[in-house]
A and B are shown apart, each in its own frame.
Chain A
């Protein structure tokens, strides 16, 4: 599904050159739930950004289902993200002016799904994660855990090929974190491929595999199930 070969990522700020990824190769299979772990600054989020088309590696190859995503033009990258990928960000990344329902609907409207149909799917997604009564609430009327659940609903409503989650529990209390992980487990059980960055080992208990990153390289892998 995801094939990564020798990718590097270098940031240049004036005369300061920082190589964050130093030649990473890995493969993620369809239906896998892979956790990427490592110390702060190891490059795990940077790796996720390269895989999820939010950034472009300096060198190397990344393909998703055989599509070379490194060399896609910008508008095609956006379209690819819309149709094939789902995102859960650390800080939820919801749009404050939109209701929970609208936040979930927006990517569907962009895919030309009729408004009524998008509303129905979004409402179903929110109900499935326990927010069926809060569809009209705006983000500032929801708790952090609820906002993250809306974010997950937005990411998976259209059944993407891959769900990327960047430290989805980092800003949540234990109860909310558990709830989020439980939802992700449920989604995974339906066959969803998930790539999740986390630094909390306890939330990797349902993952199939953990990839440890250290100093911009794959340090080791751990197969859990």
Chain B
């Protein structure tokens, strides 16, 4: 064995014996501190990222799909939509897709009971989406967001689904705009849309109310594409959005590339779900990444200081023994290893317990019971890279917290340590 190996061997024996004879309570509390340090380190980061990731996941599952086609800048529709859908029908890897026709719409409610015409009408201007209810449901599971009434059916005309944000009893943003009041399933509302021949107005019945944390769902009004065409007077097949889901294991980037190769990029903007994430969510994620790191480092520093104090007190109490060890020829390196090994053991046990707690309990629990945030169902996202980097940071800092105090004691004069002066 070389000198380092010998020092490690002796340090291991000394460290192990010291740990075995340290108070069980001190060991328990130290391990608990390290567990909580590491736990909060990765859970806080994971929660902050998961908060945004929950929004991204919802955006993908209930709005964009795996690949999302939308209008090119400066265009109002996706040209050659029929041709694109024909390609999608026969493209390997594509599982399902849904196309959406969009238009601006002004909704008026309570016009039948309006008595005072000096007051403003109960109106709101939002986005109107014409969909194939079956295809939309296959891709985004839209019917699962119903909180009142029933879902649309293709063979029923004259019905709409209305986003909950547009109704005052559900809207969390009623201080920002005036939502519709007293609108329930079964009530009549008027939809007015611009067309080539001017404003077209038609009466519809509210069939259901849908609520989602994805803004594009809860702020839209949905109706069948047949009704949409009749209302808007459009007879073309040019849609504004196509959301595509892929078969399991198919990479969105590869499908994106195939679509580009097929020239679809000339007619539509082709984005993966990741690219289609609203910019504000992306910005929030970057900010939360930094916040999570800073909070994690503060928590780690607190844990490291605790370990430092424990090792320092341990070394001070054993100062005479350290002097004796040096006196009988045990070098400083072996003695420091004894303390560093103790810090490392505290850190490793704490990390293992925290990982077991996070991956075995907290993450599965929050996955099943997401945290209810206004814009997403928050999950805890502890990516392997994050966990590994935090393990490294906590281990390195623990090593330092074990090394520095033992170094401070070991470097003292041997005789002074033995004689306690």
Footprint of B on A, CB under 8 Å?
Answer: 49, 54-55, 75, 78-79, 81-83, 85, 87, 89, 93, 95-98, 102, 106-107, 109-110, 112, 154-155
Contact = CB atoms under 8 A, between A and B. Distances in A.
Contacts of A102: 13, 17
Contacts of A95: 14, 17, 321, 324-325
14 contacts: A54-B418, A75-B331, A75-B332, A78-B332, A79-B331, A81-B329, A89-B418, A95-B325, A97-B17, A102-B13, A109-B6, A110-B10, A110-B329, A110-B330
A87 B17 contact: no
A97 B334 contact: no
A55 B413 CA distance: 8
Given A97-B17, A109-B10, A54 B329 contact: no
B328 interface: yes
Ranked nearest first, the 9 interchain pairs of A and B with the lowest CB-CB distance are A82-B329, A97-B17, A93-B324, A97-B21, A81-B329, A54-B415, A55-B415, A112-B6, A78-B331
A82 B331 CA distance: 9
A96 B327 CA distance: 16
Question: Which secondary structure characterizes the binding site on chain A?
Answer: helix
A97 B20 contact: yes
Contact of A82 (B13, B328, B332, B413): B328
A54 B326 CA distance: 9
A106 to B, nearest CB: 6
Nearest to A160: B329
A82 B321 CA distance: 16
A75 B334 CA distance: 12
B10 A106 contact: yes
Nearest to A52: B327
Given A54-B415, A82-B328, A95-B325, A109 B9 contact: yes
Question: Which secondary structure characterizes the binding site on chain B?
Answer: helix
Contact of B1 (A55, A81, A112): A112
Contact of A93 (B20, B327, B329, B415): B327
B414 A110 contact: no
B126 to A, nearest CB: 74
A171 to B, nearest CB: 15
A97 B17 CA distance: 6
Contact of A89 (B14, B324, B334, B414): B324
B18 interface: yes
Interface in B18-46: 18, 20-21
B15 to A, nearest CB: 10
Interface string B399-421: 00000000000000111001000
B258 to A, nearest CB: 65
A179 to B, nearest CB: 22
B184 to A, nearest CB: 76
A87 B328 contact: yes
Interface residues of B, number: 25
A110 B331 CA distance: 8
Given A49-B415, A54-B415, A55-B415, A97 B18 contact: yes
A14 to B, nearest CB: 14
Contacts of B327: 54, 81, 87, 89, 93
Interface string B326-369: 11111110100000000000000000000000000000000000
B353 to A, nearest CB: 25
A107 B328 contact: yes
B72 to A, nearest CB: 73
Contacts of B14: 95, 97-98, 106
Contacts of B17: 95, 97-98, 102
A64 B17 CA distance: 35
A96 B325 CA distance: 12
A107 to B, nearest CB: 5
A95 B334 CA distance: 15
Contacts of B321: 95-96
Contacts of B21: 96-97
| Residue from the set B20, B328, B332 with the largest chain A CB neighbour count within 10 Å | B328
Contacts of A78: 326, 329-332, 414
A106 B322 CA distance: 13
B418 A109 contact: no
A79 B327 CA distance: 10
A85 B326 CA distance: 12
Nearest to A80: B329
Contacts of B9: 109
Contact of A154 (B328, B331, B332, B415): B328
Contacts of B20: 97
A75 to B, nearest CB: 6
A89 B331 CA distance: 19
Contacts of A83: 329
Contacts of B6: 109-110, 112
Interface string B4-16: 0010011001100
A139 to B, nearest CB: 11
Nearest to B416: A55
Nearest to B9: A109
A206 to B, nearest CB: 25
Nearest to A54: B415
B409 to A, nearest CB: 15
A81 B415 CA distance: 13
Contact of A107 (B330, B413, B414, B418): B330
B13 A109 contact: yes
A35 to B, nearest CB: 21
A12 B388 CA distance: 52
A78 B17 CA distance: 23
| Residue from the set A83, A106, A107 with the largest chain B CB neighbour count within 10 Å | A106
Given A102-B13, A102-B17, A110-B329, A54 B414 contact: yes
Nearest to B7: A110
